Every structure is written in C-alpha cells, then in structure tokens.
Amino acid sequence: MTSTPFTNGAPYVIETDGLTKRFGERVAVDGVDLAVSRGQAFGFLGPNGAGKTTLIRMLLGLTEPTSGSMRLLGRPLPIERAAALARVGAIVEEPRFHPQLTGRQNLYIVAACRERETHDRIPAALERVGLADRADERVSGYSMGMRQRLGIARCLMVDPDLLILDEPTNGLDPAGILEMRTLLRALVDEGRTVFLSSHLLDEVEKVCDSVAIVDRGTIVTAGPVAEIASGGRRVIEVGTTQPGRAAMVLSEGRLAHSVEAAGDGVRVVLAPDSWEPQAVAAEIARRMIGAGLELHRLEIARATLEQRFMEITTRLGEAA
Amino acid sequence: MNLRMIKAEILKLVTRRGLMAWVLLLTSGAVSIMFTVLAVRHGSDPGKYSPAGGLHNFQNASYFLTSIGMAAAVLLGTMAGAGDVGGGVFRDLVVTGRSRLSLFGVRSVGALLVFLPLILLALGITAVVATTLSGSLPAPSFTFIIETSGWVLLSTCSMLIIAVGVSSLIGSRAPSITVLLAWQLLVSQLLLQVTFLGHIRDALLLSAQHHFAPAGVLGGRAGYATSSAVVAGLVVVAWVIAALAGGAWRTRTMDA
C-alpha cells in the first residue's frame, strides 16, 4: 500500500473557521478555529462531551454545522466534500458492521461506494491489520479488538491522505493498544496525517506530535505536545528528613515560585521565568548541603500532558 | 449509483438468512402449502373434493399470494430501507463521499432485484400446479395467467418500494412494519367497506390495486375498487412517489 501524493497541495489537511454547532440552546462546538498540518499525528483531546465527536461529524458530513466554514484536504466543504472524502478514512465512535457478513464482505460493501481501485486494496488492508486469516468469518463472531482493526482496514483501503479516528483504542487490550500505536506511527511515517480524537491523555502523548485541547466546545490550547506539556508548572521534588527547615532555606530569594510540604520532603514549584530545572536542582542541592540539611532525593518531575490537561480543564471548571 | 453498489445492496439482503427464509415462506412456501393441502384433500376423497388445480384454485391462490406477498414485500423493503441506519453503518457509507441520494436510490433497486426472483418463483409454482393438477376442471389460460401475474407483481412490488421509502423516512424497521401492515391489511380493508366515503376511497392504494385485478380473482372480497384505470394508475404511482420522496428527503437531511 503506497501513499498517494497530497491531493490538493494545501498546507493544512483540516481547516475550520468559526465552526459552530448548536443543538437547540446547547452549543456543542463554539466558533472553533483549527488548522492541522499534514504528515503528523494530531491529537484532539478533551473530556467526554467536550465537542470532539461533533466536530468530526461535521467534517465528515454526518451533521451540518450551524455556522462557520471548513476545508478538508484543501477542499471547501460541503461543496467539494465527495472529492475530499475520497482520500479520507474515518472511524466515528465505535466501528459498526453488518454482523451477518464476513469481515471481507463488510469491506466490499463500503468499497462499492468508493472508486473501483478500493476493492483491489482490500486484501492488503486486511493483511496490514492482521485480519487476513479471519477475514472470511462473520463479524458477529469478532471481538471488539478485531472490529477496531477491521475499522482501520476500512480506512486503509482508501489509501488515505488523512485518517480521522475517534477513540480508536476503545475496547482494546494492552497488546492491542500497543499494536494500534505502532500502526498509527507507521502510517504517519508514510506521510499520512492521523487526526486522533481521544480522552486518553497518555495515549495521545505517546502517539501524537501535536495536540489541541478542547473543552466546552472551544479549543483551549493547541501546539506541539512537548510545548503544551511544558506549559504547565515545573516541579522539583526534594527528599529530606527536615522538611520545615528545607522549606525555609529554599524559599529565600527568587529560586522558587512556592515551596510546599509533600510526603517525605518538599515540593519546589518553579516560577515561570526561573532558570532551567537542572540549574535550579543544582542550586537546591548547594543550598541544602550548605545549610547542613540531609538530602536523600532530588527529582525533576517530568512535565506531562496529563498534568497540563488537568490544570487547564480544572481552571476552566472553576471559572465556569 | 453503480452496479457495484447494487450488488453490495443485494449481498446485504440475501445474507440475512432469517429474513430470506420468511420471504420465501410467505411467497413460494405459502402457495406450496396451499396446493399441498388441496392435493392431499383431493387424493383422500376425490368424490368430495375437487382437484387442487384449475382456474378457481388459481384465482384463490393468486389472491392469497398477493395478500401474503405484500407482507413479504414489507419485511424485505423495510430491511432495505432502514437496515443501514438501524445497524449504525449508514454513517460509514456517508463518509465515503457518495451522495446520500444515490445511497437511498440503490436500496429500492437492490430490494426489487432480490424480491423479483422470489415472487416470480411463487407465481411459477402457482401457474404450473394450477394447470397440471386441474384434472377435470377448466385450467387457467395462458393469457389469464399473465394478466394475473402482472397484477400480483404490481401489488407486491409497489408495496415493496413503498416499504423502502416509508422505512427510510421513519428510520426504524419495527415501527415501519407495524404501520405498513396495519394500514394495508387492516385499515385500508376497513375503509373500503365504508360506503359513505364514496370516491374518496379511490385515493387508497388498495382500491387502486383492486382495479387491476383480473376478473374473478377478488371474488366477493373486493369491497370497493377504483373504477377508472387512469385514476387507479395515478394513485399507485402517487403512493410510490410520495413514499420515495419522503425517504429520499429524510436520508438526505438526517444526522448520520
């Protein structure tokens, strides 16, 4: 299976401008401006009910937006939706199939609605997701993990430039999640773009290059995963038998934004404009030893997307 | 719509074994059982019971096939119309970029192509048995068989298309079956008996279908039939178009 050239030469595979969807009084998606560059794994992250699936459904023509505009693979929607979707593979919510048909027949049903070459790609797609030897069994006998893989095969037979996957690891066991992660990264390495909607922070962090955090229908922040994660507060854990004295020593000057007691020591929260964590850690060690304090642990807490996500969504929750 | 989509639609229907068994039972099975009973009765006491075939039994069997064949058409048509939506796979067809109207259009074509061989088989059984087992009774003429077959096909196939349209409009199979069977086999039959409605009854699909029934097929069961061939034809076409228009509108505008 080969990657086809990008169909329209546009810099973004997904662009939305002021995209809004209302259900009566409730605003599910509220003026979203989103631009997803090609050739990356992009995470669309948010709590349940944040508007992730609604945005995907609008992009795919499953529901009409209330206002705003969209472009998919550089093509304006809904005018050129058919041309755009010809190079898009998608799973929306859980993948559904005709249970009385085999896996191969289910792919044939969808391939019949697409260009003729799609049918020829069915064997390769089944092979790639590891279902070739079970493809002629009825889907009613498939596990959830097999259905997820068949859903991915349904996307791959399009030879997609863009894959839009809504919670693709739902129902997968740990081995299945690892396989899915490997497959998604391989697809990105082939030059395809993967748009991954999920509420699983750890999964998004492991798979995605960039991320947008969405909450209450709006995009709260977006950018490279490392950048978003490091946007949160930076913390150094200090293990000592004298946390009270340690807090006094480390609170002096502008070394820390705050020093909090924590378990067997103190937690030093760095100021946004402080030195790099490694330099602060060295200064902490120097001060502790200089003050004659016992130091049995010094650890720079790794900034995670999860911490950042919780900070953002908690803050929004308090503001609401 | 293309040939591959039609083949896919047929595949979706024919692999539903339970549905196909019911449709077969309500078409070929029904007339086979009827003629078997008649043949056994005649065989057990030829002096008391007339032969299983003949013109009269052909007329009765054709009426029976039309009534019960419409139920089969409703079962099949509603599956074609609401099966994708009910099974949650409609959205996967929409995201192919294929127009929703072509996704809707292929349902009727696929359902017809599945139903036609089954109803033609039932008609064939009816004609062959009525002719070969006529014994001393007058056998139906070839012309009468063709006329009657045309009427059975018109009645059942129009019901099939209406079932596709109505179930696409409602979006769910079970309510569609209930509405269609109740309307056609119960409510319409009762309305035909209400004489003070006069020519308003011409608007009923059933009265239009009755108009095209060959002589003797309905016997005393008609109740009321549209008198004008033009009106009857227009009524059948109007019912079909209205159902298809409703189904197409819903398929095009619904959230998938």
Is B97 in contact with A84 (Cβ distance < 8 A)? yes
Shortest distance between the Cα of A214 and any Cα of chain B, in A, equals 23
Is B93 in contact with A154 (Cβ distance < 8 A)? no
Instruction: Please give the pLDDT value at position A125.
Output: 96
Instruction: Please give the pLDDT value at position A5.
Output: 39
DSSP-derived 3-state class of residue A267: strand
Is B11 in contact with A101 (Cβ distance < 8 A)? yes
Of B153-157, B187-191, B240-244, minimum mean pLDDT range: B187-191
Closest CA to B16 of B79, B97, B71: B79
Asked if A229 and A220 touch (Cβ cutoff 8 Å), the reply is no
Give residue-wise pLDDT tens across range A225-261: 877 876 666 788 899 988 888 888 888 877 788 888 8
Asked if A146 and A97 touch (Cβ cutoff 8 Å), the reply is no
pLDDT higher than 90, residue A195? yes
pLDDT higher than 60, residue B215? yes
Amino acid at B212: F
Shortest distance between the Cα of A86 and any Cα of chain B, in A, equals 6
Chain B contacts of A100, Cβ < 8 Å? Answer: 15-17
Instruction: Please give the pLDDT value at position A269.
Output: 84
Instruction: Please give the pLDDT value at position A4.
Output: 38
Is A98 in contact with B87 (Cβ distance < 8 A)? yes
Pairing mode, strands A193-198 and A41-45: parallel
Greatest mean pLDDT among A292-301, A302-311, B107-116, B203-212: B107-116
Complex-level ipTM beyond the 0.90 threshold:
no
Phi-psi region of A135 (alpha: psi -120 to 50; beta: other; left: phi over 0): alpha
**Within 10 Å of residue B114's Cβ, how many Cβ atoms?**
23
Instruction: Please give the pLDDT value at position B37.
Output: 96
Asked if A168 and A152 touch (Cβ cutoff 8 Å), the reply is yes
Closest-CA residue of chain A to B16:
A100
> Which residue is listed with tokens 């029904």?
B30
Please provide the DSSP assignment of A204-225 as one string.
HHHH-SEEEEEETTEEEEEEEH
pLDDT classification of B229: cutoffs 50, 70, 90: very high
CB contacts < 8 A (A, B) = 80
Decide if A195 touches B, using CB distance below 8 A.
no
pLDDT classification of A316: cutoffs 50, 70, 90: low
Instruction: Please give the pLDDT value at position A271.
Output: 75
**A23 beta partners:** A26
Closest-CA residue of chain B to A63:
B255
Closest-CA residue of chain A to B15:
A100
Is B94 in contact with A60 (Cβ distance < 8 A)? yes
Give residue-wise pLDDT tens across range A17-34: 999 999 999 999 999 999
Shortest distance between the Cα of A169 and any Cα of chain B, in A, equals 18
Closest-CA residue of chain B to A82:
B97
CA distances from A224 to A166, A197, A313, B58 (A): 20, 15, 18, 77
Among chain B, residues having any CB pair with chain A shorter than 8 Å are 2, 4-5, 7-8, 11-12, 15-17, 87-89, 91-99, 103, 255-256
Give residue-wise pLDDT tens across range B66-84: 999 999 999 999 999 999 9
Asked if B221 and B63 touch (Cβ cutoff 8 Å), the reply is yes
Shortest distance between the Cα of A106 and any Cα of chain B, in A, equals 9
Pairing mode, strands A12-23 and A258-262: unpaired
Asked if B105 and B252 touch (Cβ cutoff 8 Å), the reply is no
pLDDT higher than 50, residue A1? no
Give residue-wise pLDDT tens across range B167-182: 999 999 999 999 999 9
Closest partner CB to B89 (pick from A83, A88, A97)? A97
pLDDT higher than 70, residue A3? no
Pairing mode, strands A218-224 and A235-239: unpaired
- Examine residue A224 and say whether the peptide bond preceding it is cis (omega within 30 degrees of 0): no
Nearest-angstrom CA–CA distance, A261 and A299: 15
Nearest-angstrom CA–CA distance, A196 and A184: 9
Chain A contacts of B103, Cβ < 8 Å? Answer: 113
Decide if A138 touches B, using CB distance below 8 A.
no
Closest partner CB to B255 (pick from A63, A98, A116)? A63
The pair of structure tokens assigned to A111 is 């391939």
Closest partner CB to A100 (pick from B15, B93, B103)? B15
Instruction: Please give the pLDDT value at position A315.
Output: 58
Is A113 in contact with B17 (Cβ distance < 8 A)? no
> Which residue is listed with tokens 């003429």?
B141
Closest partner CB to A113 (pick from B5, B11, B91)? B5
Site from A113, A119, A195 to mutate, B interface, most B CB atoms within 10 angstroms: A113
Shortest distance between the Cα of A76 and any Cα of chain B, in A, equals 13
Pairing mode, strands A265-269 and A235-239: antiparallel
What is the rounded average pLDDT of the residues A205-230?
A: 87
Closest partner CB to A85 (pick from B88, B91, B97)? B97
Q: What is the DSSP letter of A10?
A: -
CA distances from B144 to A5, A236, A309, B119, B122 (A): 64, 96, 78, 17, 16
Shortest distance between the Cα of B13 and any Cα of chain A, in A, equals 10
Is B95 in contact with A119 (Cβ distance < 8 A)? no
Nearest-angstrom CA–CA distance, B211 and B234: 12
Instruction: Please give the pLDDT value at position A167.
Output: 87
Asked if A35 and A18 touch (Cβ cutoff 8 Å), the reply is no
Closest partner CB to A101 (pick from B15, B91, B97)? B15
